[in-house]
Amino acid sequence: MDGAEFRTRGREMVDYMVDYIEGITSRPPLPRVSPGYIRDLIPDQAPRTGETWESVKADLERIIMPGASSPACTELEVCMMDWLGKMLQLPREFLFCEEGKGGGVIQGTASEATLVALLSARTAAMHKLRDDQPELTQGQILDKLVAYTSEEAHSSVERASLIGMVHMRLLKTDERGSLRGTTLETAIREDREKGLYPFFLCATVGTTSRCTFDNLTELGPICTRQGLWMHVDAAYAGSACICPEFRYLLDGVEHSMSFNFNPHKWLRINFDCSAMWVKDRYAVTEAFEVNPLYLKHDHQGQAIPDYRHWHIPLGRRFRSLKVWFVLRMFGVSGLQQQIRKDVSLAKMFERLVQADDRFEIFGEVVLGLVCFRIKGENARNERLYKMINDDRRIHLTPSKVKDIYFLRFAICASSTQMADVTYAWSVIKELAHKMAASEKRQ
């Protein structure tokens, strides 16, 4: 949708809102639909190519309004989570349509998804430990629990362990930034020897600092064998897996108990929207369920999930609407196109860096993030970073992994084009030149 069309459609929506408010007394206060009604009205997967705005808007009145905000809010979310799950070729056990114990939910951020996974795993582990050793107090059980993640995982993973009051070990990655099976196995063995109870691993697909990938195909079977809940955080990289050529990044996800990625990062869906799936939704509700009368309703315990037991907040926004709009307006192919454009721009930037022998690429460019640095000591890179941001024509963020400081060039805005990349590179080169010149003068 270009700017001109957005102006027209935006106006239509403003009118729709006012008409709705002005005519609200003519609508029934309670919807006249049966549980599951939306599933019968919409396709069971996202469209391959984009649809017209007219068709999307017509369905608002036809499909959503009869179900008002409740149950439409829940039912559309159920369908959208299945759409997204199928786009990622997630194992069927994660989908509602399998009518097993799996399903998905929209969380706000990956931090919340990780926390929910950790708390669910904690509850399951505590039940198991209490069965085995009924003499232990709750606190004594907590003292035994140990969770793992890689030293390159996002800070929110460690933060989840602070909130959950469980010990978390940050395990070493290999030279490519990947957490490997042998490292996890050693840690589990060490901890069991100390009498501890390993219960949770948060593996990352696409780390924040440098977009590296934990080895799910090694880690997963170990977790299954050892009884650990593996959560896979693919907050950034997950979106790319809607392209068949990147789906290999999720190999091994079938061993996980829960998985999340953030469509708000790279699928053109506005913040916030973190999509999370679990294989056993009862393991999640078990951790959160408190059930007062003023929240009871007729459809409890049925196939439709009661999402308030799936996350920290009680109230919820109708976030599946924006997912529905975006998936239909772009279609899967439109979103794939965006991912491929961004990755190819990142590859182009990589080539520009490689062609300049003052610079080096740090790590591997797999998706839209290019980590690079001036060859040599960290201090020069820290100076260059400061110069770039003081200059204010472009904006970068740095990071440091295994004591190596580097700059991060991220392609993620839908409007970014080749000219933006070459412009940014020209600014970086110019400032690097200026820095070198000033170093010579000293």
The only residue of 59, 93, 158, 185 in contact with its own copies, by rule CB under 8 A: 158
Q: Does 11 bind its own copies (CB under 8 A)?
A: yes
Site stretch for its own copies (CB under 8 A), options 89-97, 157-165, 215-223, 339-347 = 157-165
Residues 6+ apart with CB under 8 A from 318: 69, 72, 73, 76
- HSE on the CB side for 338, CA within 13 Å? 23
CB of 390 to its own copies, least distance (A): 9
* Angstrom distance (rounded) from CA 384 to CA 406: 10
Q: Which of 171, 287, 365, 369 binds its own copies (CB under 8 A)?
A: 287
Contacts of 327 (CB under 8 A, 6+ apart): 46, 47, 80, 83, 84, 335
Among 101, 227, 282, 295, which residue interacts with its own copies (rule: CB under 8 A)?
295
Structure tokens at 386: 């400061």
Could you say which residues in the range 16-45 bind its own copies, by CB under 8 A? 17-18, 21-22, 24, 28-30, 32
Closest approach, Cβ 388 to its own copies, in A, equals 10
Cα separation of 1 and 272, whole Å?
21
Over the Cα atoms of the chain, what is R_g? 24
Per rule CB under 8 A, is residue 291 in the interface with its own copies? yes
Phi and psi at residue 338, to the nearest 5°:
-60, -45
Binding residue (CB under 8 A) for its own copies from 224, 333, 389, 422 = 389
Residue 134's φ and ψ, nearest 5 degrees, are -65, -10
Task: Choose the binding region for its own copies from 148-156, 218-226, 341-349, 358-366 (rule: CB under 8 A).
Answer: 148-156
**For the window 209-248, what string marks contact with its own copies as x by the rule CB under 8 A?**
x---------------------------------------
182 touches its own copies by CB under 8 A: no
Q: What is the DSSP string of 187-254?
A: HHHHHHHTT-EEEEEEEEBS-TTT--B--HHHHHHHHHHHT-EEEEE-TTGGGGGGSGGGGGGGTTGG
Q: Which is nearer to its own copies, 7 or 375 (CB)?
A: 7
Which of 173, 208, 336, 338 lies at the binding interface for its own copies (CB under 8 A)? Answer: 208
Q: Which stretch binds its own copies (CB under 8 A): 73-81, 153-161, 183-191, 344-352?
A: 153-161
Contact in structure between 60 and 21 (CB atoms under 8 Å): no
Task: Choose the stretch contacting its own copies; rule: CB under 8 A; options: 51-59, 152-160, 217-225, 253-261.
Answer: 152-160
Q: Which of 43, 134, 139, 195 binds its own copies (CB under 8 A)?
A: 139
Q: How far is the CB of 357 from its own copies (least distance, A)?
A: 27
When the beta carbons of 357 and 390 are compared against its own copies, the nearer one is 390
290 binds its own copies (CB under 8 A): yes
Alpha-carbon gap, residue 401 to 219, rounded angstroms? 22
- Least distance (Å) from its own copies to the CB of residue 18? 4
Q: What pairs with residue 168 in β-bridges?
A: 147
Q: With contact defined as beta carbons under 8 Å apart, do 286 and 123 qualify?
A: yes
Between CA 411 and CA 420, with CA 417 as vertex, the angle to 5 degrees is: 80
Binding flag, residue 429, its own copies (CB under 8 A)? no
Nearer to its own copies, 81 or 388 (CB): 388
> Quick one: CA torsion of 85, 86, 89, 95, rounded to 10 degrees?
60
Mask: binding to its own copies, 340-369, rule CB under 8 A, as x and -? ------------------------------
Q: How far is residue 243's CA from residue 245's CA, in Å, rounded to a whole number?
A: 5
Query: Between residues 97 and 404, which has the closer beta carbon with respect to its own copies?
Result: 404
Residue 373, Cβ neighbours under 10 Å: how many? 22
How many residues are listed for the chain in this entry?
442
Amino acid in the structure at residue 249: L
- 195 makes contact with its own copies (CB under 8 A): no
Residues near its own copies (CB under 8 A) are: 3, 6-7, 10-11, 13-15, 17-18, 21-22, 24, 28-30, 32, 108-112, 115, 119, 137-144, 154-156, 158-159, 162-165, 208-209, 271-272, 287-288, 290-295, 312-315, 317, 389, 392-395, 397-400, 408, 415
